[in-house]
Amino acid sequence: MDRVQFGARLSSIRNRNGVSVALLAAVSGIPEETIFAIENGMEDISESQLESISSFLNVSPLTLLGIPIQNQEPALETRFRTQGLSQPEIREALNFAHAFLNQIDELKNLQSLD
């Protein structure tokens, strides 16, 4: 991914979360100048910076990198099975997770309309 695309994505996600560059810098320990340079495509982001920023913004590093996150359902099903859940319990848990994530997406869309 090129720097400009990454920087635009980071800036968009940061703004959508209502986080200023100053706050992100204070929490992540990354200087404001560096965040500005990353967001404007003038500097690459390091792995540790990516982890710190994604953790604070509560997004996957893959999301910041623009890499689609694969469907997690098979991994969840396996995890539920190893925990001893029955097939109906697994289906109920997955349906709940889908509904919950859809509600989060709807809230994000409503916030972006403000």
User: In the CATH scheme, what is the homologous superfamily, with its name and number, of domain 3-65?
Assistant: lambda repressor-like DNA-binding domains (1.10.260.40)
- Interval 36-46 mean pLDDT: 96
Given a cut of 80, whether residue 29 has pLDDT beyond it is: yes
Please tell me the distance from the alpha carbon of residue 27 to that of residue 8, in angstroms, as a whole number. 20
Residue range 52-75, pLDDT digits in tens: 999 899 888 888 888 876 655 667
Q: What mean pLDDT is predicted for residues 33-51?
A: 95
**pLDDT tens figures, 80-96:** 888 888 888 888 888 88
pTM: 0.61
Q: For tokens 């309309």, what's the residue?
A: 113
- Burial of 14-49, coded b for 16+ CB within 10 Å and e otherwise, reads beeeeeebeebbeebebeeebbebbbeeebebeeeb
Tell me the domain boundaries of the chain: 3-65, 73-113
